[in-house]
Structures are given as C-alpha cells and as structure tokens.
Chain A
Amino acid sequence: MHVDETTVRKIARLARIEITDAEATGLVDELSGILDWVEQLDEVDTSNVEPMARIVPIALKRREDVVNDGEMRDKIVGNAPMEEDGFFVVPKVVE
C-alpha cells in the first residue's frame, strides 16, 4: 500500500503530531515500506477465523459497585505542567 504525502499529513493530524515538510517526505517512504511489508498477511486465508480476544479463557472478575478509590485531586494534578486551584489549565477552547 503506497501512502502519499496528503495521507501522511492527514494521519499526523489525526495523531496530533506536528510534522515538518522534510519529515512528511521521509514518512511517505517509511510508512509505505512498512505497509507493503505487512501486506503479506493477505496470503493467509482468515475467512473462517475469529479474531483473537484472550490468551486463557478467564471470566472477568466482578466486585461490588462501590467507590473504592478517589479523594486524591492533589495527587492527580501534582504532575500537571500547568495547574490552578486543582484544575488542569489548557488554552481557551470556547470563544
């Protein structure tokens, strides 16, 4: 699968990673190369195969629906690059 520069820029936008023009050019070849290489999976007939969901068949554990964690606001914002009064600070998003 060949990806063009427009596609690379679209993916980078979806992934929220700014890329330079030089990076975009390089990524066209790199991503196309990797996608070409994974295309060998088309040789495998998977028409009657279920996708893998788990390694060992275990049922998820249940517990009572009660609060068992919390009351740690200061710890949660403790590593924020910008924090004010216990809130994360972001650039203005609503005009």
Chain B
Amino acid sequence: MTKRNVSILLATLLVMAGAVIAGSGRNSSEIPAPPAIGATIEEFTLPDVDGRDHSLKSIKGKNGTVLIFISVQCPVSNAYNERMEKLAADYKSKGISVIGVNANSSEDAGAVKAHATEKGLTFTILKDPGNKLADKLGATRTPEAYFLDGNNKLLYHGRIDNSQNPAAIESSDLRTALDAALAGKPIEKTEAKAFGCTIKRA
C-alpha cells in the first residue's frame, strides 16, 4: 500500500468516525430558526415509508398543507395519533392535506410504517433522512405542525392544541388556524408552543 493510499484510508476512517460521533446528536444552537410566518416554503421532495418520492407540489391540497413532525416512540406524539388522523379526515374534503413527517434518525422507514399500521394512521407519512426538511423548517420537537396555504406560504407554526390529554383541551390552535384560513379570515394566533420530544437528528 502506498503512502498516498494509506493517507486516503486514514482520512476516510476519520471522516467515518466523525460521522458516527456526530450521529449521536447535534448541538441545539446549530438548528436553524423556524421561518417567519408569511414566508414561502420552498418546494421539497421526500420519500414515503415505502421509499416512493413525493414532492410538496404532488401532495399539497388546493387550500393548503399541514406538515406535522411525528415520532414512533415519543409518547407526546403518540398521544395525538387519533387527533391527527381525525384532522386529516376532517380537512381532506376541505382541500387541506395533512402529511406526517418523521425526521428521527433513530426511527427507520420500516419502523414508521409498522407504527402507522399499528396505530391506524392513514395519512401520508414522509421520511426526512438527514433532517433536511426539519432543518429548513427549524423543527425541534414532536409533534410540531406547520400550516402552509395553497401557495406554500407559512400561516401557522406550533402545537396542535394545548394539552396531551384530550379531556383538557381548551385551545385547538391548529384547527382554529385552518378554519380561519378556509373562511378567508386572518389567523389570530399564528404560533403556539407546547412541550414535546426532541427530534433525534442525524
């Protein structure tokens, strides 16, 4: 083996080692801030749990799209499974698509597919390898929702509602935002926070 080949091999090994270390997590300060309300979200393409690519253009509803970062393991995300499924069903006929996005590096497409089947999630779920969309949207937790209008303009960002416990819901922020947009009214609360699980970035 020549000196050059040895150097290339060593450099490759070190890069791989670095990637393994980096794979254990990323500093929170490196995650970009979410886009401002009113910003237009760029077109993207991500694979679903069967590996088929979908562009935003191909999955969006005529009146808009709700992207929700979800998780297989996160109990908070799981607490919202039924609510997300109902949301998707309720707004499909109103021209708004609800799309799940799994950006957790710790949950592969097979696990996401099995989880969706087990929990009865029938809306499209995209896998976000390398957190490209999560980075673009500044998503940090599950569940975390983004509502884009028909022109991909961000109208609402944040929680689905105020409580993991359905009996304690007092503020259905996401639905309120969707209903306002459909009625052609301004959305009063464009951002709302809640506690959730950290997205496990690559």
Chains A and B bind each other: no
Query: Residues of B with Cβ closer than 8 Å to A?
Result: none
Query: Residues of A with Cβ closer than 8 Å to B?
Result: none
